[in-house]
Amino acid sequence: MPVVDYEQYKTMLDTAYKSKYAYPAFNVSSVETANAVLEGLAEAESDGIIQVSTGGGEFASGTYIKSSAVGAMTLAQHVHLVADKYNVFVALHTDHCKASKLESFVMPLIEETEKRRARGESNLFNSHMFDGSDIPLGKNIEIATDLIKRCAKNQIILEVEAGVVGGEEDGENNTNVANEKLYSTPEDMLRFYEALGNIPNADYMLAATFGNVHGVYKPGNVKLRPKVLRDGQVALQAKYGDGARFLFVFHGGSGSAKEDIAETLGYGVVKMNVDTDTQYAFTKPIVDHMFKNYDSVLKIDGEVGNKKYYDPRSYLKAAETGMAKRVIEACNDLNSTGKTLCK
């Protein structure tokens, strides 16, 4: 099926919330990694989300152009072209974008969607993330409010962040963030609801933090408190009734304990980001290939090597397969396996 439309995407998220499962969202930076996600989702019979970060987009545009927006457009076009060959739904999303990069990353992508819609075509991306975690909460919400109004006009879902995700990703280093900022408060979550919840036709997801970190750490080094999400939902419903809800996003899913993942599903997590684990799953087969075929991939001691082994296709196929297997594991962890809505 093609990349989902707005109503299909909303149905995906609503179904996940009601049925207490979540969609894995995988960062991609190349055609090969995008193909790996699609392959894994299809094997798992799970719908899912393919997302591009500023760094991933810049890489995909090439070392000469180095444009995050151009690279993101390139990857999105590829997914649009090949997705209808698969038997699952997939949504396209952009990951963390700070206020300082909105004009160079998210806004050109929204403009491209506006051009596509004017031609009667589908949206380029289904959703975008604005990460205002590095600015005061009031300014974060102010920018998010302006941005979601434009998104609403174009049937784009916005993801916003309350709190700070620790660790390091794409050059953003939050390893020394004060501990209390790693845990969102119910009050902060309510401020987002009250600012964004009444904007006509606007839809959003909330990345509330509960000790999340980017990257993978040894067991015991990351202190997740999933009940932070529960407390947010309880505070929301106590003030606005049982029909009120947050659609939560779990950032830093790589390396998280399966019991923590399972607990968050009961508190309204509908999307979990996975990047570090899939990077490793993609790279490991390449390392294996190089070690096992050292004499063939290099021209050493006057020899000519073996084209069969240094042809990039030989090891990128293995890398794609390795990453696809990790995609399936994520689907299993989030209980999305076998639940595709693509019928």
Residues 147, 158 contacting (CB under 8 angstroms): yes
Residue located via tokens 């152009």: 65
The CA–CA distances, whole Å, from 40 to 161, 180, 274, 314, 327 equal 28, 37, 13, 19, 5
The CA–CA distances, whole Å, from 24 to 40, 272, 273 equal 11, 5, 6
Residue located via tokens 């939050």: 174
Residues 334, 261 contacting (CB under 8 angstroms): yes
Sign of dihedral through CA atoms 330, 334, 335, 340?
Answer: negative
Report the C-alpha gap between 335 and 69 in whole angstroms. Answer: 33
Residues with catalytic function: 95
Residues 62, 20 contacting (CB under 8 angstroms): no
Distance of CA 115 to the CA centre of its chain: 24
Residues 178, 204 contacting (CB under 8 angstroms): no
